[in-house]
Structure 1
Amino acid sequence: MRPETEAELAEMIAGATGPLRIRGGGTRDVGRAVAGDVLETGGLSGIRLYEPGALTMVAGAGTPLAEIETALAAEGQRLAFEPGDWRGLLGSAGESTLGGVVAANASGPRRVTVGAARDFMLGVRFVDGTGRIVKNGGRVMKNVTGYDLVKLMSGSWGTLGVLSEVSFKVLPKPEAVGVLLCEGLDDGTAIAALSRALGSPWEVSGAAHLQRGLDGAPVTMIRVEGLEGSVAYRCGQLQRLLKDVGDFVVERDPERTTAGWQYIRDVVPFHGRDGEVWRLSVTPGEAPGTVAQLEGVEAVYDWGGGLVWLLAPEGTPMRDAVKRGHATLFRASAERRTEGALFPPQPAPLAALEAGLRGKFDPRGILNPGLMG
């Protein structure tokens, strides 16, 4: 099924007699496999409104992300939350769509300063599990009463409704970028240095540590963005702040800095390699110790995003290791994806609230049933 209009989408969902597998571009195959008729949103495509002066855009949920980024780049603007391209990580194909980004709340290293994808959403239109068309929000930021459906739909993975249109905020591209690089730090030292940089007044917009960089050695990265003079000054201040940690050199070449952060954003070190991929969210003090107690794992610390990506042998008891925090199984064998919880288990009160919301918006339980179970 591939609706071309919101009305067709509502009609298809209302007339569904069984489970529906919601599909945007097919690039974010995360969670338990859903058995059901495929409902594709690619026909709900196109930029409906773009006001560069107001920093807002409205587009159909099936609009390719590349189309949106091209339109923004022509005006010197961008999606500041830098959604990742997970195709290489997950071994998927297709073309990422706006709706898929919102449904996954896909956000990159810059979330430390600007927020996640959900923080840029101004309004949504979607069809719930009964076939009802729902609208919430608009084209400006404002206070809301009742359900904040804009944020509720972000990260819901298509289990509460099928997005048809999204309005969102964009930001200008910075004039300059500087990246501080240091090789050879162990995990504990690197995380302490990144935490110190993030806690400084120098407006760090990305902080990461790889256990194995391109040349095989550990590499620690700190990003600064803004006006040319400001970037140069803040990079110098960060070098002085961290001089007792190691020799941080500054990279200013735009192509190299962009490629370096795409490497972190897309978790490129784990592309095409055997093993499970987990995404952890733990406190700074516990992150190195959590990783160290696991055998045979490799870590990418997207510390500006508050995340640790782990490549681990199949069957690694990750939830036993993560005492305080969250662990999501992003990539695993088909058999493994049928076992246990792939998303972090919810405490009983939150699980009850979540069940109530699903009962409200999808009373028949037909939208991506079991995907997050």
Structure 2
Amino acid sequence: MADVAAILRPKTAEALAAMVAEARKLEIIGGGTKRGVGRVIGAEAVLSTQALNRVIDYAPEELVLTAQAGVRLADLEALVAAQGQMLPFEPPHLTRLLGSRGRPTLGGVLAANLSGPRRIRAGAARDHFLGAEAVTGRGEIVKAGGRVVKNVTGYDLCKLLAGSWGTLAVLTEVSLKVLPAARAELTLLYFGLDDARAAQAMTQALNAPVDVSAAAHLPGATAARSPLKVAMAVTALRLEGFAASVAARADHLAAALQGFGRCDRLDAEHSRGFWVQVREVEAFSRDPRPLWRISVPPAAGWRVGEAIAGDALYDWGGGLVWLASDADPGQVRGAVRALGGHATLYRGEAPAFEPLDGALAALSARVKAAFDPRGLLNPGRMGMV
């Protein structure tokens, strides 16, 4: 990482573009909370978007918000909550998990394409990314998409930037779709299921006509950790909406899953607290082992714990697995590939991102060359220098 004393904090997109045009290699950060995910190689300065921190336009009646990339995520969440709305993809902050003292920004969350437990119903962060202004590695300001839900011009460019981790362009302004917040929520808890049985329960629940908004499984060793501290495995299913609808759907789901054993219910307050713990992966916040974020087909999720030694937390009905493990990184990646997925190392010494090869590597190199031909933005972070 570059010397933190050399932090550039432009206040406009034009100023940021001028800094990029100077042709120095730059580490790009928002709040700096995810700097440890992937290594930036040879950066000569740090460029922060924190001074780009204005909400430009918020139209609650249109369900659209436009803000600069450096706006703090917590401030945006408070803003929309005051209007009875929410960021639908339930973005995680991960500050405790990653040992950060910073505060995540909107641009950082979108650059990493981070989504919380509601992803199984609402979609990923990129699915709510309507428009963007960004500065490429050429020092050019580009715009894509728009500020209304119907405008999809350039939408694929937004999707390309989401998940690029600042290696293609620096986000300066984004437009997002927001949604009304649920009036009520309730979580059903099942206890003592092994991973395979829990996967069956989550699959059945997600296929039932009850609109489950989150499904997670914490095996016994994970559930026993702070802050949950439960003596056996926990499988959780969340329902959201109007109170009467939530109650009726909970009864229907409990009846459909009665073969999976005892069922407890968490009221709205305790449900919210539980899903914050899942979203922030609190069970592994103090675990010194390398931590992997693994995406696999949900039906194969439980097999990750079977194939790789370690402790797991299964989110998205099994499609997202957080795994704390001392296993060899090559073994982890090989086992995950065999299951049809990919793995990102969020804490640890090995390269963070899955190495690309063949046609995919060639395509990635062409995209990088189009946006950042001199390799100025986050050099080396995703294996791109």
Please report the TM-score for the alignment, with normalisation by the length of structure 1: 0.94
Unaligned runs of 5+ in 2: 1-7, 224-228
CA contact (8 A) 1:109 1:304 kept: no
Which residue number in structure 2 is paired with residue 370 of structure 1? 380
2:345 to 329, 333, 344: 329
Per the TM alignment, residue 145 of structure 1 is displaced from its structure 2 partner at its CA by 6.0
Residue identity opposite 2:21 in structure 1: A
Cα distance in 2 for residues equivalent to 1:240 and 1:363: 58
Per the TM alignment, residue 147 of structure 1 is displaced from its structure 2 partner at its CA by 7.4
Say if 2:113 is the partner of 1:98: no
Q: Write the deviation string for residues 26-83 of structure 1: whole angstroms up to 9, x where unpaired.
A: 1113112343110011011111111010011110100111111111111011111011
Unaligned runs of 5+ in 1: none
Residue identity opposite 1:310 in structure 2: L
Which residue number in structure 1 is paired with residue 226 of structure 2? none
Per the TM alignment, residue 137 of structure 1 is displaced from its structure 2 partner at its CA by 0.7
CA contact (8 A) 2:30 2:107 kept: yes
Which residue number in structure 1 is paired with residue 30 of structure 2? 24
Per the TM alignment, residue 182 of structure 1 is displaced from its structure 2 partner at its CA by 1.1
Cα distance in 2 for residues equivalent to 1:97 and 1:183: 36
2:136 to 117, 128, 133: 128
Q: Write the deviation string for residues 306-330 of structure 1: whole angstroms up to 9, x where unpaired.
A: 2011011163520122212111111
- In structure 2, relative to structure 1, the CA distance for the partners of 1:184 and 1:57 (3 Å cut) is same
Which residue number in structure 2 is paired with residue 313 of structure 1? 326
Cα distance in 2 for residues equivalent to 1:319 and 1:278: 10
1:276 to 267, 290, 305: 290
Q: Write the deviation string for residues 198-217 of structure 1: whole angstroms up to 9, x where unpaired.
A: 11111000000001322242
1:13 to 3, 13, 20: 20
1:244 to 241, 259, 266: 259
Which residue number in structure 1 is paired with residue 279 of structure 2? 265
Which residue number in structure 1 is paired with residue 235 of structure 2? 220
The range that moved more, 301-310 or 19-28, is 301-310
Per the TM alignment, residue 109 of structure 1 is displaced from its structure 2 partner at its CA by 0.9
Cα distance in 1 for residues equivalent to 2:287 and 2:110: 27
Q: Write the deviation string for residues 262-317 of structure 1: whole angstroms up to 9, x where unpaired.
A: 1111111000111010111223443323312322x001000347201101116352
SS at structure 2 position matched to 1:168:
strand
Cα distance in 1 for residues equivalent to 2:319 and 2:21: 40
CA contact (8 A) 1:110 1:304 kept: no
SS at structure 1 position matched to 2:260:
coil
- In structure 2, relative to structure 1, the CA distance for the partners of 1:53 and 1:145 (3 Å cut) is closer
Per the TM alignment, residue 350 of structure 1 is displaced from its structure 2 partner at its CA by 2.0
Residue identity opposite 1:288 in structure 2: W
Which residue number in structure 1 is paired with residue 366 of structure 2? 356
Per the TM alignment, residue 348 of structure 1 is displaced from its structure 2 partner at its CA by 1.9
1:334-349 to 2 correspondence within 5 Å?
Answer: 336-337=349-350, 341-349=351-359
Which residue number in structure 1 is paired with residue 88 of structure 2? 80
Which residue number in structure 2 is paired with residue 299 of structure 1? 312
CA contact (8 A) 1:224 1:235 kept: yes
Which residue number in structure 2 is paired with residue 255 of structure 1? 269
- In structure 2, relative to structure 1, the CA distance for the partners of 1:51 and 1:145 (3 Å cut) is closer
Residue identity opposite 1:298 in structure 2: D
Cα distance in 2 for residues equivalent to 1:294 and 1:156: 28
Say if 2:213 is the partner of 1:205: yes
Residue identity opposite 2:200 in structure 1: A
Q: Write the deviation string for residues 130-173 of structure 1: whole angstroms up to 9, x where unpaired.
A: 11000111111346567721111111100110011001110111
Say if 2:245 is the partner of 1:230: yes
State the percentage of identical aligned residues.
48
The root-mean-square deviation of aligned C-alpha atoms, in Å, is 1.5
Say if 2:197 is the partner of 1:182: no
Per the TM alignment, residue 369 of structure 1 is displaced from its structure 2 partner at its CA by 1.1
SS at structure 1 position matched to 2:97:
helix
Q: How many residues align?
A: 364
2:304 to 278, 281, 290: 290
